Amino acid sequence: MSHARAEALSDGADSFWLEGVGVRFGRNLVQARSLRHAAAGFFRTSGIEWYEALSGVDLRVHRGEHVGIIGRNGAGKSTLLRVMARVIIPQQGCVRVDAAARVVPLLELGIGFQPDLSGYENCHLAGALLGYSRREIEDRVPGIAAFSELGPFLHEPVRTYSSGMYARLAFALATDVEPDVLLVDEVFGVGDEFFMARCAERIRRLMSAGATTVFVSHDLEFLLARCGRLVWLDAGRVVADGEPEAVAERYRACAGRAPVR
């Protein structure tokens, strides 16, 4: 099976440029009865049902744009965001990403955290993966600790955290590193209403500072208030891409109908 070409954008005009992107997932229709059967099945493609998560997706996101992605559950929204974050490698098409941009994905908050390390140690680990020096991360830790409101728990293993504490640290860390591109997938339910308001304000400030933002959300009002463009996905395809109110109106009119193909 061929994979998509991955290329770097160097002119700085675009953050992403996707052409003909296709992603499919397979699952075995018959459960293996033994390790021997499973090993034999690894090399077979028959007996696999393929699900087309994305099909022929063309999308160009200009630098500094604020784009919302909408669609029903299973439409391919999260898969598309993971392709842009280079978490998923598509089987078809071409994916180009701004070579100079620091891309920070807010997908599943805390993904990549090491459970036996403390919150403080995970800050240094995540910072190193993003290209920051130890000194740079050390300078940012007080701000991350203050925003996440973890107090002394910052030095406890993250496996002891509640889901709210885990997510709050992840959000504080991801948004403190001044990303050029922020990919956000339904992550605002990370605390009480006061903390959520602070999250929204931080996102607003990043947008005002020029960060390219791509949101996946079911909250149309949130997207209409923040995005200059909406992309409607259905059954893995782009149905509409354009002015937010116009796309939202079409989307609402089709609510409850069968997927658009």
- Residue-range domain boundaries for the chain: 5-102+218-253
pLDDT at 89: 92
pLDDT digits (tens, 9 = 90+) for 93-110: 999 999 888 888 887 666
pLDDT digits (tens, 9 = 90+) for 7-65: 666 566 889 999 999 999 886 544 544 555 555 555 555 567 888 999 999 999 999 99
Q: DSSP states of 69-102 as a string?
A: EE-STTSSHHHHHHHHTTSS--SEEEEEEETT--
pLDDT at 173: 85
What's the pTM value of the predicted model, to 2 decimals?
0.79
pLDDT top residue among 110 and 77? 77
Fold of the 5-102+218-253 domain: Rossmann fold (3.40.50)
Task: Look up tokens 């049902």; give the residue.
Answer: 49
Q: DSSP states of 202-256 as a string?
A: HHHHHHHTT-EEEEE-S-HHHHHHH-SEEEEEETTEEEEEE-HHHHHHHHHHTTT
SS (H, E, C) 147-180: HHCCHHHHHCEHHHCCHHHHHHHHHHHHHHCCCC
pLDDT digits (tens, 9 = 90+) for 60-74: 999 999 999 999 999
Task: Look up tokens 């463009």; give the residue.
Answer: 229
